[in-house]
Amino acid sequence: MTNTQSHKRALLVTRKLPEKVEERLCKAFEARLNREDAPLSAARIAAEAQGCDALLITPTDRMDARLIGALPECVRIIATFSVGYDHIDLAAAKARGIMVTHTPEVLTDATADIAMLLLLGAARGAHWGERMVRENRWGAWAPTHPLGMDVSGRRLGIFGMGRIGRALAHRARAFGMEIHYHNRRRLPPEAEAGAIYHETFEGLLPHCDFLSLNCASTEQTRGILDARAIALLPRGAIVINTARGDIVDDDALIAALKEGHLAAAGLDVFNNEPDIDARYRELENVFVLPHLGSATPATREAMGMRAADNLEAFFAGERPRDALT
């Protein structure tokens, strides 16, 4: 870890960030940077945080109650370089009087692009098609095989019609898809743009040729796509997940993919990343990506700048616009 001048607020940055973001942080703070970019253990974070006023963390840093309790009293704010915050115990932070912020809005388009990629890739067999070419198994053309699934004109169900869900719906309409959704609150007509609202998650499922998970990971949503929910989907449906892995019951999803109740899945997020359930790697009807939702240079830079905005606002005596506690 490296330091800059000592007269500024001290900030621990747990991972290497885009160059322009680090430059800004070093101008505004006494930024302790992680030049090696190796994930820090909980004990290392607690030790490096000594004398720090703030932490800038990432989803690889699990800020549970034990680690938050071990932070020095000088830490007043934790800014996470992510829109999701399920890796932070917000109640523990609030009890310690520590502000927590995240980075919404700036990764909407990048994540919606990945969701559409997963939808198309899962439907049209991108995984097995690429393997056929790479493994030199591409035989003569045949009228009846191998075949993917149609996308145009099909029904897309979106669970979580926030910014990313609405951006995905916008893209899907270009393919002539009929949009259905469930959200905690119904959207106003202008935001629905013709999408069909369902009052419950269970009520949405029978109308989904494709189901895209775009909700936050909460106590209410973790494990919600279980065997009971999957059984409500039409046979041959396709599941897309760019939200969080823990929304899905892996055993139930894998069983449905093997049995054929689900035709395919497109997954960018998993439980226990990167140590995912190894069975996914063996399934030909699963199109997988290594959590690439926000992985573009412009998006990652915007996320860092948004985190910096929140930190600077806090130390200017203002409430950050992305405050969670």
For 285-312, how does the pLDDT look when each residue is reduced to its tens digit (9 = 90+)? 999 999 999 999 999 999 999 999 999 9
Give yes or no: 244 in active site.
yes
Pairing of strands 178-182, 155-159: parallel
For residues 255 and 240, give the distance between their C-alpha atoms in angstroms, rounded to a whole number: 16
The residue from 48, 273, 301, 312 that is catalytic is: 273
Examine the pLDDT at 169 and tell me if it is beyond 60.
Answer: yes
pLDDT at 119: 98
Query: Which backbone phi and psi does 152 adopt, to 5 degrees?
Result: -60, 135
d(CA 216, CA 130) in angstroms, rounded, equals: 32
Residue 273 a catalytic site member: yes
* pTM of the predicted model as reported, rounded to 2 decimal places: 0.92
Confidence category of residue 262, pLDDT binned at 50, 70, 90: very high
- Select which of 87, 279, 291, 301 is catalytic: 291
Q: What is the pLDDT of residues 224-242, one digit of tens each?
A: 999 999 999 999 999 999 9
pLDDT value of position 1? 61
The span from the CA of 127 to the CA of 124, in Å, is: 9
Tokens representing 175? Answer: 């393919």
What pLDDT shows up at residue 7? 72
Per-residue pLDDT for 71 more than 50? yes
Report yes or no: 211 and 240 within 8 Å, Cβ to Cβ.
yes
Q: Where, residue-wise, is CATH 3.40.50.720 in the chain?
A: 10-106+297-315, 108-288
pLDDT at 2: 54
Judging by beta carbons within 10 Å of its beta carbon (0-12, 13-18, 19+), is residue 173 exposed, middle or buried? middle
- In the residue annotation, 291 being an active-site residue is answered as yes
In which residue are the tokens 């996914």 written?
280
The two tokens of residue 181 are 């959704």
Measure the CA–CA gap between 231 and 252, rounded to whole angstroms: 10
Report residue 54 as tokens.
């703030």
What is the predicted pLDDT for the residue at 276? 97
Nearest-10 Cα torsion for 312, 313, 317, 318: -170
What's the pLDDT score for residue 301?
A: 98
Q: How high is the pLDDT of residue 151?
A: 98
The pLDDT of residue 203 is above 90: yes
Q: Nearest to residue 226, comparing CAs of 246, 206, 200, 203?
A: 246
Let me know: does 91 contact 218? Beta carbons within 8 Å.
Answer: no
Q: Over the chain, what is the mean pLDDT?
A: 96
Helices within the chain (DSSP H only): 19-28, 42-48, 65-70, 90-95, 108-124, 126-134, 163-173, 189-192, 201-204, 227-232, 250-259, 297-315
**Do 81 and 55 meet the contact criterion of CB atoms below 8 Å apart?**
no
Task: Report pLDDT for 162.
Answer: 96
Catalytic residue (one of 24, 32, 163, 244): 244
What is the homologous superfamily of the domain 10-106+297-315 according to CATH? Answer: NAD(P)-binding Rossmann-like Domain (3.40.50.720)
Please state, in angstroms and as integers, the Cα–Cα distance from residue 147 to each residue in 63, 125, 198, 262, 286, following that order: 45, 8, 32, 15, 15
As a CATH number, domain 108-288 is 3.40.50.720
Quick one: pLDDT at residue 5? 45
pLDDT digits (tens, 9 = 90+) for 89-118: 999 999 999 999 999 999 999 999 999 999
Q: What is the mean pLDDT of residues 34-53?
A: 96
> Among 146, 98, 122, which residue's Cα sits nearest to residue 242?
122
